[in-house]
Amino acid sequence: MSEIQADTVVLGAGPAGYVCAIRLAQYGKKVVVVEEDDLGGTCLNWGCIPSKALISAGHFFEQAEHASTMGFTVEQPELDLSKLIAWKDGVVKKLTGGIGMLFKSRSVDWIKGSAVLVDGGTVSVETPEGSVRVKARDIVIAAGSEPAPIPGFDFGDRVWSSTEALSPEEIPQRLLVIGGGVIGLELGMFYAQIGSEVVVVEATDSLLPGTDPDLVKVVARKAKKLGVKVHTNAFARSWEDSAGVARITVEISGEESVLEADRILLSVGRRPRTKSLGLESAGVKVDERGFISVNEQCQTSASHVYAIGDLTHGPMLAHKGSAQGLVAAAAIAEKAGAAYDKRVIPSVIFTDPEIASVGLTEAEALEQNIEIKVGRFNFGANGRALSIGKAEGLIKVVSDAGDDTLLGVHMVGPNVTDLIAEAALAMESGLTTEDITLTVHPHPTLNEVFMEACEDVHNLCVHSPG
């Protein structure tokens, strides 16, 4: 067994792990990264990037079908699925290849293999060439998450996880989606746009549980226009393959029904990948769900072992993992003030239209007995939104009634996944809604909707009917 000495070993090369590794190298540390799959982790290979590439293609497909509203005569578009998947794979390859170049330029070593912690300063790695032992002062665990199963629905040819849904060999005529959360609705709407008959089965009483209901209503209306059928308070109990067709037994509001589909997309959430890492050997504690608790420096119960990304508590978001990776690197390098602040973590959902949020919802603020003021403005009254033919949606601002600081901003509409950054920066800086209104926003732009929603907090929105 060969042995390598490093300052830090990072387990996982997703958005949390690779960012942490590069930052540590920038701080002058000798870094070894262990990753058993391709660089980039779930996000770049089987999650954020490939899904958004396909979703972008779905939007284009739908826009081409409705080009006549702008005066263009366009033949009915046809989809070459193999070319679409090849294009998506090309986007992924360009980004993952970029990580490899960054590793090389910063002298970050990558060992391709599966890792197990031997103790708080040693990692054993199984590679195709044999076992390697890596010793380091600090260990960063960034192993990520995996799709969560449910009883009776094992992943396979007929039952897809998001991974299979992103590289289909053919478009299913009928797709049943179990779980109306972020992944289920993003991919469900994409398949509806390219011609599948989509049915969504959601266990709670609403799509996108935990999202502001005013935002969900807008997306639900668009899903209905696309022909997506939604069953809430519904549970998928079992399924059987009958002559190449999946027959799914679903309990809907207490009554059993049998639905048929060509494929089943199981998207009920993800779970942390912590079971096989040997965490107990290093003194790292996990909770009953497999998550690792960390402090503000992303340090675990073991003094020189850190954890970042999906396997820590909080939202499973790539940018959350990257932020934690930078904090962990700074803490390891003993940089003063390194701390992870979970209060201002934006959330983005690439449905049609998009959803983006940061901070407290109106309901959450009231639950905390905070006296609030709420302002809103619709994209339907925005010149830029009308001129690009995307006028559905609104922006809602929740502010503290006492000092006018921003508590939360919630958006649904065109390009809001980009617009939310302004709101996050404002909240991070402790700005008030008045600060936003006094900031001159260029015209005609979508950003003006945020400004006018802030004006509405004070009943001073010029373009509101009152």
CA distances from 215 to 160, 221, 365, 368, 410 (A): 28, 10, 17, 21, 8
What is the rounded CA–CA span in Å between residue 224 and residue 180? 14
CA atoms within 13 A on the CB side of 125: 25
Q: Which of 66, 319, 443, 463 is catalytic?
A: 443
Rounded-to-integer distance, Cα 442 and Cα 447, Å:
8
Whole-number Å distance between alpha carbons of 45 and 398: 36
Paired with 252 in beta bridges are 234, 255
What is the DSSP code (8-state) at residue 301? Answer: S
* Rounded alpha-carbon distances, angstroms, from residue 303 to 139, 184, 327, 423: 10, 38, 15, 36
The pair of three-digit structure tokens given for residue 440, joined into one six-digit string: 């001159």
- Show Cβ contacts of residue 154 under 8 Å, excluding neighbours closer than 6 positions: none
Q: What CA–CA distance (Å, rounded) separates 196 from 58?
A: 12
Catalytic-residue membership of 443? yes
Place of tokens 């939007």: 59
Instruction: Give the residue numbers marked as catalytic.
Output: 443
